[in-house]
């Protein structure tokens, strides 16, 4: 048992991958709330835990109430409505996140997750307070949002935008390119904005849009979450990167070369890279990680 706990602790707290940290936080929050809620219901016939978590941790679309719950655009990203909700969110996060970190390093995952979640929250609030479908029935006053889906969608679409020709094998289907899988998710979400989970589907679209635009900007040399990358870099690495702009280092590839390779991947896929280009991308990924 101690060995299992040590392995979990290492993967969540000491591993370079931020996927394990995100998944660990989501699982801990889910268990803490739901186990406590179950105990209070069974032994004390009370729904207080469920009430307070829904009231103070889920994101509200109500503009008058939002300033009093200013932390909820962050906390809602770690709330889930049930076991299958968190299970599928974490599975997609793990699958696509691994590909994302393989090609862009392990320091951008947290930043993209939070940016996607905030984009989903913003689109949810905006839609419920401006679109006639929601405003005519006063939906904003009673609607809330929970789930990591917007942040996960940002990573899914960002990965598919970076590597559209990359294929993964799905059970009963076979190999599917990332671009078709991401497009399928986006279409399903769009069709669902008039359904019972309209708020969730809208937030997915917000995260998807953020993931797409982020990669397009990154390919142009604009890294919106570079400050997150820098937080996890040692001072020595920061100095090396700053010197790399003026020196032709054999150890660290130039940013211009990396941008050209990423652009080639987005147009023709990873398999179109030459052996030398793959080696450059590999060294760049190692430097990020």
284, 215: one domain: no
Over residues 176-208, the pLDDT tens digits come to 999 999 999 999 999 999 999 999 999 999 999
- 264 and 170 in a common domain: no
Rounded to two decimals, the pTM is 0.76
Residue 225 lies in a domain: no
Asked if residue 224 belongs to a domain, the reply is: no
Mean pLDDT value across residues 33-61: 95
Neighbours of 31 (CB within 10 A): 11
Structural domain including 109 reads 2-219
CA separation for the pair 31, 36 (Å, rounded): 8
* In contact, 22 and 93? CB cutoff 8 Å: yes
DSSP code, position 247: S
* Helix, strand, coil distribution of the chain in percent, nearest 5: 75, 5, 20
Question: Rounded distance, CA 116 to CA 114, Å?
Answer: 5
For residue 230, is it within any domain? Answer: no
CB atoms within 10 A of CB 38: 12
Distance, in Å, from the CA atom of 203 to the CA atom of 209, rounded to the nearest integer, reads 10
Residue 228 domain flag = no
Q: What residues form DSSP beta bridges with 174? A: 170
117 lies in the same domain as 142:
yes
- Structural domain count, the chain: 2
Q: Do 145 and 262 reside in the same domain of the chain?
A: no
Residue 160 belongs to a domain: yes
Q: Residue 55 maps to which CATH number? A: 1.20.1540.10
Tell me what pLDDT residue 249 has: 45
**Residues 200 and 278 grouped into a single domain:** no
Residues 154 and 184 in one domain: yes
21 and 78 both lie in a single domain: yes
For the cut 60, the answer to whether the pLDDT of residue 236 exceeds it is no
Same domain, 121 and 255: no
Could you report the per-residue pLDDT of 240-272, keeping only the tens digit for each? 444 444 444 455 677 777 777 777 776 666 667
Distance between CA 63 and CA 220 in Å, rounded? 36
Residue with tokens 């996927």: 19
């Amino acid at each position: 048992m101690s060995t299992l706990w040590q392995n979990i602790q290492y993967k969540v707290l000491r591993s370079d991958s931020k996927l394990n940290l995100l998944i660990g936080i989501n699982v801990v929050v889910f268990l803490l709330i739901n186990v406590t809620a179950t105990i209070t219901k069974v032994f004390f016939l009370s729904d207080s835990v469920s009430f307070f978590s829904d009231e103070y941790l889920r994101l509200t679309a109500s503009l008058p109430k939002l300033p009093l719950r200013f932390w909820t655009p962050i906390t809602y990203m770690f709330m889930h409505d049930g076991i299958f909700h968190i299970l599928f969110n974490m599975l997609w996060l793990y699958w696509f996140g691994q590909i994302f970190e393989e090609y862009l390093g392990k320091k951008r995952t947290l930043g993209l997750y939070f940016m996607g979640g905030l984009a989903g929250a913003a689109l949810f609030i905006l839609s419920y307070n401006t679109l006639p479908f929601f405003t005519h029935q006063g939906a904003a006053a009673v609607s809330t949002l929970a789930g990591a889906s917007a942040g996960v969608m940002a990573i899914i679409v960002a990965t598919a935008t970076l590597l559209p020709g990359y294929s993964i094998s799905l059970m009963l289907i076979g190999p599917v390119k990332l671009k078709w899988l991401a497009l399928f998710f986006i279409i399903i979400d769009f069709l669902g904005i008039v359904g019972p989970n309209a708020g969730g589907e809208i937030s997915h679209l917000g995260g998807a849009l953020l993931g797409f635009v982020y990669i397009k900007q990154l390919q142009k040399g604009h890294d919106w979450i570079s400050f997150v990358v820098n937080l996890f870099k040692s001072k020595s690495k920061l100095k090396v990167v700053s010197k790399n702009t003026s020196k032709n280092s054999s150890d660290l590839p130039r940013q211009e070369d990396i941008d050209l390779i990423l652009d080639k991947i987005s147009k023709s896929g990873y398999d179109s890279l030459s052996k030398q280009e793959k080696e450059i991308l590999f060294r760049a990924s190692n430097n990020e990680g």
